[in-house]
Amino acid sequence: MGLPFTSDQFFGVFASYNRVFVVVVVALWLASIGTLAFVLRDPAHRSRTLSLFLGVLWVWNAVAYHALFFTRINPAAWLFAALFVVQAVLFFRVAAGRHIEYFSSAGWRRGVGLVLVAYALAYPFLAIALGHSYPETPTFGVPCPTAILTIGMLVSVRDRLPLVLATIPILWGFIGGSAALFLSVPTDYVLLGAGVLLTLIVIWQRMRPASAAR
């Protein structure tokens, strides 16, 4: 496979991360539920609040997971950390200016987006149910559930998605989703599928007139 680390080392990173940040992990999960409940009831503040929220999650992943822990077993994690910082900056820029209508699409895309968001929140419990023992399990706030959550929100956007905003989540859909195949993380099959779905939506939107890309 050519991976620079073993399966035991990979899951050992999660164990170290969870032991250090157990309080933060719980706080991020609760804050995520609270933020989503707030914006679903208050559409006027949805765009800015969710963009800021996603920016915080991506920069947290860059520093607390990739830079502090994953770099210990994979030098490429420095590149991943940089990509996650870039994605965080993109969301912060959206929060400061551009309006993104999350959960505004009619029909199946809104439904799929909500399902992916719910799946991301349930991710750590599903990982444990499928055989990963705590603390050697990915919890909420690490890259793969964060990417699933992000893709769910982007899928649910009614208007044409900015390509620059979708590129890194799609890329991580394939990089992180490979864990399902190479490292026996079955919960990441959904990430892989979500990356494919967002790719198809972006391509479809660019093949159709802007007024029809809804």
pLDDT at 1 over 80: no
Can you tell me the distance from the alpha carbon of 78 to that of 67, in angstroms, rounded to the nearest whole number?
6
Name the most confidently modeled range: 110-119, 155-164, 203-212. 110-119
Kindly report, residue by residue over 137-152, the tens digit of the pLDDT. Answer: 999 999 999 999 999 9
Q: Is residue 2 part of a domain?
A: no
DSSP state of 97: S
Nearest to 4 by CA among 70, 102, 66, 65: 70
Average pLDDT of span 67-92: 97
Can you tell me the distance from the alpha carbon of 208 to that of 202, in angstroms, rounded to the nearest whole number?
10
Query: What pTM does this model have?
Result: 0.94
Among all chains, which residue has been given the structure tokens 């995520």? Answer: 32
Instruction: Give the model's confidence band at 2: pLDDT under 50 very low, under 70 low, under 90 confident, else very high.
Output: low
Percent of the chain with pLDDT over 90: 77
Q: Is residue 28 part of a domain?
A: yes
How many structural domains does the chain have?
1
Nearest to 174 by CA among 80, 90, 111: 80
The upper half-sphere exposure of residue 7, i.e. CA atoms within 13 Å in the direction of its Cβ, equals: 10
Structural domain containing residue 54: 7-212
Kindly report, residue by residue over 99-131, the tens digit of the pLDDT. Answer: 898 998 888 999 999 999 999 999 999 999 998
Q: Is residue 1 part of a domain?
A: no
Instruction: Give the model's confidence band at 10: pLDDT under 50 very low, under 70 low, under 90 confident, else very high.
Output: very high
Average pLDDT of span 84-113: 92
pLDDT for position 5: 92
Instruction: Give the model's confidence band at 212: pLDDT under 50 very low, under 70 low, under 90 confident, else very high.
Output: low
Q: Is residue 144 part of a domain?
A: yes
Start-end of H helices in the chain: 7-41, 46-60, 77-96, 108-129, 143-155, 163-182, 189-207
pLDDT for position 49: 93
Token digits of residue 183: 């490292």
195-199: long-range contacts, CB 8 A cutoff, minimum separation 24: 195/147, 195/151, 195/169, 195/170, 195/171, 197/112, 197/151, 197/155, 198/151, 198/154, 198/155, 198/166, 198/169, 198/170, 198/173, 199/170, 199/173
Rounded to 5°, the CA angle 170-173-175 comes to 110
Mean pLDDT of the chain: 92
Token digits of residue 105: 């699409």
DSSP state of 211: G
DSSP state of 122: H
Of 88-97, 156-165, 202-211, the least confident:
202-211
Please state the separation of Cα 1 from the chain's center in Å. Answer: 24
Of 96-100, 121-125, 172-176, the least confident:
96-100
Kindly report, residue by residue over 31-45, the tens digit of the pLDDT. Answer: 999 999 998 888 778
